[in-house]
Amino acid sequence: MKKLFLFSFFISISFFTFSQYSRGTVKESLTMDSKILGKQVKYTIYLPFDYETSSRYYPVTYLLHGYSDNDMGWMQFGEANLIADECIANHEIPPMILVMPDGGVSFYINNFDNSVRYEDFFIQEFMPFIEKTYRIRAEKRFRGIAGLSMGGFGTLNFALKYPEKFAACVAFSAAIFSEESLMATDEKGWGWILGSLYGPYKEGEARLTEHYRKNNPFDITTAKGKEVYNNLRIMMDCGDDDFLTDDNCRLHIHLDKLGIKHEFRMRDGAHNWTYWRSGLPAGLKFIGDSFHQF
């Protein structure tokens, strides 16, 4: 009996250890053909540990990278796969697929002259392609989106424009351009990023174009009103030493005034991967909670 007990004990320990460290599969720099962008677009995907051995369908979270990064950033620097593995093993999040597209420096929008239609690509081509290619529960209640910096802006842009498509969104250190920031940008700063998005440099309020207003979370939410966001869970997370803190605080106050429910977190930290890695577990849990039935 003692030997049988020891054998059972060691089997239990081995199973527990295996379940704790079961690893998902990461496939980097896969490609899909985009007619809208007229080129191949790369993406990286994380498949949970039991994807290859089951026939089940999974919820999905789209992870958007920051400016000058690519589809591999969240894996290479953010360790998103290791974080997801641990959270799944500890039953903090349900098994989910993570999808990371290469957004270039598009800010995930259609630019001012439609020469780069990244938003159209993402909504009309990329999401349908991913959700047909992989075993994904392709409906709002099982779809989340998150991103950092430029990807935080893209996250808010997609979720606030298309609340019917996403259950939850998490924006880390979102690169938001409030009117105050836009008006304070000099010609050099405009040419660095904003010109490719919003058009040639202009003085004064002339820069507050219709295109700008259609592509920033302040005007999007004002135009839509609070009711359309009743079934969208929104989380914003920005460090207290981040150069984007002011505009993230402005958006938090703006959403409060509109009565749009959201979570706003400010932790100790700056605009770097240390901050984003430490925030991702809570971000995935926030999204994962949306996939549960209470």
Residue range 113-162, pLDDT digits in tens? 999 999 999 999 999 999 999 999 999 999 999 999 999 999 999 999 99
Closest by Cα among 266, 107, 255, 119 to 175 = 107
The pTM score is 0.92
Strand partners, 147: 64, 171
* Each residue's pLDDT expressed in tens, for the chain with a length of 294 residues: 544 444 444 444 444 444 456 899 999 999 999 999 999 999 999 999 999 999 999 999 999 999 999 999 999 999 999 999 999 999 999 999 999 999 999 999 999 999 999 999 999 999 999 999 999 999 999 999 999 999 999 999 999 999 999 999 999 999 999 999 999 999 998 998 999 999 999 999 999 999 999 999 999 999 999 999 999 999 999 999 999 999 999 999 999 999 999 999 999 999 999 999 999 999 999 999 999 876
Would you call 135 helix, strand, or coil by DSSP? coil
The tokens of 245 are what? 């803190």
pLDDT recorded at residue 7: 41
From CA 23, how far away is CA 84, in angstroms rounded? 9
pLDDT recorded at residue 14: 40
From CA 89, how far away is CA 21, in angstroms rounded? 7
Q: Which CATH superfamily is domain 29-290 in?
A: Alpha/Beta hydrolase fold, catalytic domain (3.40.50.1820)
Could you write out the DSSP letters of every residue in 266-282? Answer: --S--SSHHHHHHHHHH
Per-residue H/E/C for 157-186: HHHHHCCCCCCEEEEECCCCCCHHHHHHCC
pLDDT recorded at residue 22: 81
pLDDT recorded at residue 21: 61
